[in-house]
Amino acid sequence: MSKVIIGETEYFKGISQIQFEGKESRNPLAFKYYDPNRIVSGKTMAEQFKFAVAYWHSFCNNGGDPFGVGTKLYPWNTSCDPIQNAKNKMDAAFEFLSKLGVNYFCFHDVDLIDEGSSLSETEYRLQAITDYGLEKMKGTDIKVLWGTANLFSNPRYMNGAATNPDFNTVAYAGAQVKNAIDATIKLGGENYVFWGGREGYMSLLNTNMKRELDNIAQFFHMAKDYARARGFKGDFLIEPKPAEPSKHQYDFDAATVTGFLREYNLFDDFKLNLEVNHATLANHTMAHEMQVAANAGLLGSMDANRGDYQNGWDTDQFPVDLYELTEMMLVFLDAGGFQGGGGINFDAKTRRNSTDLTDLFYAHIGGIDAFARSLIIADRIKSESDYDSLRSDRYSSFDSGIGLEFTDGKLSLSDLHKLAHQQGEPQQISGKQELYENIINQFI
Ligand code: XUL
Ligand code: CO
């Protein structure tokens, strides 16, 4: 990690670069498990994870909620001049990243700088802040994991962006995506994300779902063709979420998006950016979502966070649950890590009443350590326990003989019928779920 990067003002005073100090350390501003250079399962932890900070939560969000105004008076968000404010915010972001020892960030266009009162004004502002960002990145190892366009906050998108029934709005969204792709390419972004918060419907009564899906597929093709023509080599990532803000969102979950990509011939350029809290809202575990994606070779990237199991909305809390994370890391290691150039973006926010600047450090240190620890646990489970062999033994009847012939497609349904008559009632074989669960606990 390069040295600490401080702009005109130092925002996180009294905090130096966060170091790995090991699990005996009592320093709250140190990593206890995340040692970026430690090799786990053949790669350094830094390579396995590619951690990223979400610009919107950490540098823009002021803690406001539907019941009250913001509580977080960030000192970089105080200038009335939008360009100066965006520069201050970027100074704070670079200082935070370099002090945290995380190389990557993710952004929406309007996180970098506020939208102007016209498209031209917005484009001018984006040019200014990306010029500034490019200059700041020089000589550092700060990088962009992915960029995206916010196609859900502005009222113009109340009926959707690429799925809007009005063509003029679709065109406007196209302009915004072009600009966001340009900004991502300019800053060397490694991936480009689409999260369709308003791509769905509130009522099917006024919605032609088929037409909207055809339109968004067309839109994705245009975005992909444009970026490829400009030399972009990274993955496009669709981020599934079942609902919120729409009643029903088209990118419901990993399985739905996988089917969509196949149907519309987008499979070669697009992968998935899975988010833990979105999996929860879809009534899945994150491990399930990761497995579905990995099966299709689409495990692109991850938005790390957690939901709240007592309520049903997207609380975007930092991850802490080792059992849940270990189950995720078992799938992750089985897949060989991300199946593209993705990483782990903390799409998570400190609570509304966590108002100290240091809280941003505690939150990220905690999330990073929780991932590091669970990766170590999962790797030990796979190398020191019977976990892998128990799982493969469960399917051993397909590894040889007649079972292998079935796998290889050499049997017919009539063959199965004949075999069943010969062999009679199958034996009961225990699934041993509790044994597997105990192995995870033992290694935690
Ligand atoms: C919303 C969400 C977004 C996307 C990017 O639930 O996760 O922040 O990650 O638009
Ligand atoms: Co997200």
Tell me the C-alpha distance between 345 and 301, whole Å.
8
User: Is ligand 1 within 6 A of the CB of residue 316?
Assistant: no
Give yes or no for residue 342 having a pLDDT over 90: yes
Contact partners, residue 382, CB within 8 Å, separation at least 6? 41, 330, 333, 388
Residue nearest to atom 2 of ligand 1 (CA): 195
In short, whether 239's Cβ falls inside 6 Å of ligand 1 is yes
| pLDDT grade for 175, boundaries at 50, 70 and 90 | very high
Indicate the pLDDT class of residue 391, thresholds 50, 70 and 90.
Answer: very high
Whose tokens are 């990593």? That residue is 31
Give the mean pLDDT of 72-95.
97
The mean pLDDT value for 371-381 works out to 98
Mean pLDDT value of segment 61-86: 96
pLDDT band of residue 395 (cuts 50, 70, 90) is: very high
- Looking at all shown ligands, the one closest to residue 106's CA atom is 1
The 8-class DSSP code of residue 427 comes to: P
Query: How far, in Å, CA of 268 to CA of 221, rounded?
Result: 11
Q: How far apart are CA 69 and CA 209, in angstroms?
A: 36
198 Cβ inside 6 Å of ligand 1: no
Residue carrying structure tokens 């040692």: 35
pLDDT at residue 1 is higher than 70: no
Using the atom order of ligand 1, give the atom closest to the CA of residue 303. 9
**Which of the following is catalytic: 111, 235, 303, 369?**
111
Q: What is the pLDDT of residue 38?
A: 98
- Full-prediction pTM beyond 0.95? yes
Residues 98-130: pLDDT tens digits?
999 999 999 999 999 999 999 999 999 999 999
Protein residues near ligand 2, an ion, with CB under 5 A: 275, 303, 347
The β-bridge partners of 193 are 237
Q: Is 277 in the pocket of ligand 1 (CB under 6 A)?
A: no
Strand 248-249 with 200-201, pairing: antiparallel
Furthest-apart CA atoms within the chain: distance in Å: 82
Q: Is 111 in the pocket of ligand 1 (CB under 6 A)?
A: no
Tens of pLDDT, residues 122-144: 999 999 999 999 999 999 999 99
Tokens of 29: 């501003």
Q: Is residue 345 within 8 Å of residue 304, measured between CB atoms?
A: yes
- What would the pLDDT profile of 267-323 be if each residue is shown by its tens digit? 999 999 999 999 999 999 999 999 999 999 999 999 999 999 898 899 999 999 999
Distance CA 437, CA 444 (A): 11
Mean pLDDT for the stretch of residues 30-38 = 98
- Quick check: is 268 catalytic? no
- Those residues whose C-beta lies under 8 Å from the C-beta of residue 405, and which sit 6 or more positions away, are 411
**Residue 2 — pLDDT band, cuts 50, 70, 90?**
confident
284 is catalytic: no
